[in-house]
Amino acid sequence: MNNENLLDVRPSPIAGMWYPGTESHLRAELASYFAAYPPQDLAEADVEDDGLIALVVPHAGYRYSGATAAAAFQALRGKNYQKVIIVSPSHRAYINPLITSGHDVYETPLGLVPVDHQSLNRLSILLQEDKLSLKTVRFDQEHALEIELPFLQYTLKDDFQILPVMMLDQREKTARALAKALFALIQGFELSEKVLLLASTDLSHFHHQRVASELDGAFIKALQSGDARQLYLASESGKTEACGLGPTATILELSKMLGANTVTIADYRDSSFASGDKSSVVGYVSAIIRREDYENV
């Protein structure tokens, strides 16, 4: 990127803790997760439209959720997207229900990732129809969004811009409003601009594995339905829990607007796979959302 010294950089607050802090160590760890997924044939990877619309991915430290994330991110290897819309929860309190970064770029050990402020400004205007807006924040500590960036840098073929959105208000009406505004935004992009959607979420927290399995199973069943309403029904009835319920619902709703008709679970596991402790686990799932042309199957 040109004029890097003039850029307003958001330095990583989690590199070296949540994932390796040097480029060599980070690349090696990512390579270990992707080793189970042989690279696609380049001709296949470069297909203009293979129906891939979105991913749902976890956001814990790589030791715990890296393998689960890689199971979905492997679908991106060798592909090219100009814009990546990432919707995550916010684990810290702000006044505004929806926030985004006030910096020009995010920094990871793999380099700089530019923020598409022009599109974010337009999104904020579109959100006003539902009495919402995006508030920019600086030097945020949010891991749920940043944790996905090295995976994108490692898998995508060319440079890309991100549209980061962090949700404090994860209610259904907010998720629907955000999905509607993002759909209108995408409709205004140039046809040549390929867009990828990303939802960041972990599942149940700190239950025995037996309980976690039931809670997470209900979330996965709702996710596979492709209907964001089912996620909220499961949550409201106490059948499931997820810290990224709103982001997942937003991306699921938006994907449906864009023609998605298939949700494939890429991987599910819990933290005991890494820690060995089944008495108090956190659940992780990854999924690939596609638009499949059933007429040609």
3 lies in a domain?
A: no
In a domain, 42, yes or no: yes
Biggest alpha carbon–alpha carbon distance for the chain: 53
**Is 7 among the domain residues?**
no
Number of domains in the chain: 1
Tell me whether residue 281 is in a domain. Answer: yes
* Full domain range(s) for residue 274: 15-296
- In Å, how far from its chain's centre is CA 244? 10
Contact 22, 109 (CB under 8 A): yes
In the structure encoding, which two tokens stand for residue 171, read together?
């209610």
**10 within domain boundaries:** no
How distant is the alpha carbon of residue 176 from its chain centre? Answer: 17
**What is the rounded CA–CA span in Å between residue 56 and residue 113?**
20
Look up the CATH number of the domain holding residue 85. 3.40.830.10
Residues 6 or more apart whose CB falls under 8 angstroms from that of 61 comprise: 17, 18, 19, 147
- Whole-model pTM: value is 0.94
Residue 117: inside a domain, yes or no? yes
Residue 1's pLDDT band, with cuts at 50, 70 and 90, is very low
Strand bridging mode 195-200 / 83-89: parallel
3-state secondary structure 87-144: EEECCCCCCCCEEEECCCEEEECCEEEEECHHHHHHHHHHHHHHCCCCEEECCCCCHH
Confidence of residue 50 (pLDDT cuts 50, 70, 90): confident
Q: Tell me whether residue 148 is in a domain.
A: yes
CA-nearest of 234, 261, 254 to 245 is 234
Query: What's the pLDDT tens digit per position in 176-226?
Result: 999 999 999 999 999 889 999 999 999 999 999 999 999 999 999 999 999
Task: Indicate if the pLDDT at residue 260 is higher than 80.
Answer: yes
In a domain, 1, yes or no: no
Provide the mean pLDDT of the chain: 94
